Amino acid sequence: MHNEQFNNRNVSESYFLVDIEDYPTDGWGRFKRVVKRTFRGELFVGLWVVLREMIKFDIHTIQYPQEKMPIGPRYRAVHEMKRLWESGTERCIGCGLCEKICISDCIRIDTKIDENSRKEVSEYSINLGRCIFCGYCAEVCPELAITHGGRYENASEQREHFVMFEDMLTPIDALKAGKQLEFEGFGAITPHEDERVKKTPLSY
């Protein structure tokens, strides 16, 4: 890679000055500008554009919120909790690494022992008012359980908007319908991972 493009610090070369009139400095000049702007009919120019496009019926704007832009698979919006494909149980094992690594300290987990003597996440919350969507939690998760999702609408009545485990978890019918998507961003398995793993010998 060549560094010449960085070495040339003469930025003015490809720049040009836009032809803009100087701002008026005295009262008379300001008065003239007001009169000019008022009677130029720019309002009607704008109105004509709207009218013209309306008649054409060839609309390019996206009808948000009925319609949404497709977003990239690595986009980091509100978190999702994934389920295991085979059994449908939640992937989260309650290891608490996301809680530990979270740099804005917005994740909290309560765990307990369940009736099958397994660790159970009894409560899980993310304070979206503090979350900076850095992706560390998804990266550190050993089970690919917590990931980011595509839901970016965070409008809320209060600053401390929490998201609970149940809200993030893939609905079981969505899983059965095969609609759960694996996250491709932070923490996802890199291609050819199998080839790089050292295998443990087994005596079975």
**Should residue 142 be labelled a site residue for another protein when binding is judged by CB under 8 A?**
yes
Distance, CA of 132 to CA of 106 (rounded, Å): 9
Single out the residue of 37, 112, 176, 179 in contact with another protein (rule: CB under 8 A): 112
Please give the Cα distance from 199 to 71 (Å, whole number): 37
Assess 120 for contact with another protein (CB under 8 A): yes
List CB contacts of 101: < 8 A, sequence separation 6 or more.
Answer: 136, 137, 139, 140
Residues 41-100 that bind another protein (CB under 8 A): 93-97, 99-100
Considering only residues 84, 125, 128, 167, which one is a binding residue for another protein as defined by CB under 8 A?
A: 125
Task: Enumerate helices (H) and strands (E) in the chain, giving the number of each.
Answer: 8, 5
Q: Verify binding: residue 139, another protein, rule CB under 8 A.
A: no
- Phi and psi for 125 in degrees, rounded to 5? -140, 145
Q: Does 103 bind another protein (CB under 8 A)?
A: no
Q: Find the shortest distance in angstroms from Cβ 115 to another protein.
A: 12
Residue whose tokens read 């610090």: 9
Helix (H) or strand (E) holding 79: strand 79-81
Q: Are 188 and 145 in contact (CB under 8 A)?
A: no
What's the closest the beta carbon of residue 143 comes to another protein, in angstroms?
7
Among 9, 60, 118, 159, binds another protein (CB under 8 A): 118
Nearer to another protein, 108 or 181 (CB): 108
Residue choice 61, 117, 158, 190 for contact with another protein (CB under 8 A) = 117
Please tell me whether residue 101 binds another protein under the rule CB under 8 A: no
Residue 72 or 201 with smaller CB distance to another protein: 201
Cβ contacts of 109-113, under 8 Å, gap ≥ 24: none
| Min dist. Cβ of residue 148 to another protein (A) | 20
Residue in 180, 155, 185 with CA at minimum distance from that of residue 76: 185
Q: How far is the CB of 93 from another protein (least distance, A)?
A: 5
Residues 108, 130, 151, 161: which binds another protein (CB under 8 A)?
108
H or E segment to which residue 107 belongs: strand 107-113
CA distances from 177 to 10, 45, 88, 170, 181 (A): 58, 52, 12, 11, 11
- Residues in touch with another protein (CB under 8 A): 93-97, 99-100, 108-113, 117-120, 123, 125, 142-143, 198, 200-204
